Amino acid sequence: MSRALAIIPARMASTRLPGKPLLAETGKPLIQHVVENAQRAASLDRVVVAAEDQAILDAVESFCGEVVKTREHPNGTSRIAEALTMLDDDHDIVVNVQGDEPEISPAVIDALVAGIAADTEAPMATLCTRFADDEDPTNPNIVKLVRDARGRAMYFSRSLIPFDRDAGGVSAKPQAAPGRAYWKHPGLYAYRRGFLLNVYPTLPPTPLEELEKLEQLRVLEHGHAIAVIEATPGSAPEPGIDTPEQYAAFVARWRAK
């Protein structure tokens, strides 16, 4: 099995849920749930939290997590690129575990690491998973994606893609037929070390990235490939925590265990 380093970017200044890394209605700060799940992944040798806010760094250190202090950054990818330059580490694969996904599955992290290791031409990889029957693929808080015949990303969007013309937009069932299923995008990425250090920092922001507020579009707009690995059914994480309602739902699930 390929081995990797995980860096978890975190910040306090979320637009829809300020201070979310430190929300602790479960008895643990949100960021601790993320770290502990990542540490359970067999493919990871090391898990580091990267943040500019001292409150986050202090919280992580309080449960013996590893931290690195970064500058302010416009997105998580640029934050982990800086963090990587500050770490004494030589892993070729670097995983960007989103700091707001407390239910991230260790098995999904392992699948992503295996996926980027297998696609030797892709400098970056991410996940896709099918919508459940009770999920709404038109929800703009859930990012969608489409793939090409090689399993590489063609586009990511908050809008519904693809548009089913004959069904007037969305099919009656998100799982419709194999060629007409909608794919959602859990926020988990893996990069090759050289791409993250030497290529991504040179890529200027792009129009589609800024329009959709999706950082991965910068990579596609500049012509770089993103391999897409399908998460095993039932193993994909719940959506990231972006709103008070999503956090409340997470707390309810956690208390019900």
**Inter-residue long-range contacts of 75-81, CB under 8 Å, 24+ positions, other chains counted:** 75/215, 76/9, 76/215, 77/9, 77/189, 77/191, 77/196, 77/200, 77/215, 78/200, 78/201, 79/9, 79/11, 79/50, 79/51, 79/52, 80/7, 80/9, 80/50, 80/196, 81/196, 81/197, 81/200, 81/201
Model pLDDT, residue 234: 56
Model pLDDT, residue 13: 84
Model pLDDT, residue 71: 94
Q: Which CATH architecture has domain 4-129+187-255?
A: Alpha-Beta Complex (3.90)
Are the beta carbons of 145 and 153 closer than 8 angstroms? yes
Alpha-helical runs (H) found in 40-152: 54-62, 76-85, 106-118
What does the domain layout of the chain look like in residue ranges? Answer: 4-129+187-255
Written as tens digits, the pLDDT of the chain (257 aa) is 678 999 999 999 877 898 999 999 999 999 999 999 999 999 999 999 999 999 999 999 999 999 999 999 988 899 999 999 999 999 999 999 999 999 999 999 999 999 999 999 999 999 998 887 778 888 898 899 999 999 999 999 999 898 877 777 766 455 555 555 789 898 899 999 999 999 999 999 999 999 999 999 999 999 999 999 998 755 665 668 988 999 999 999 999 98
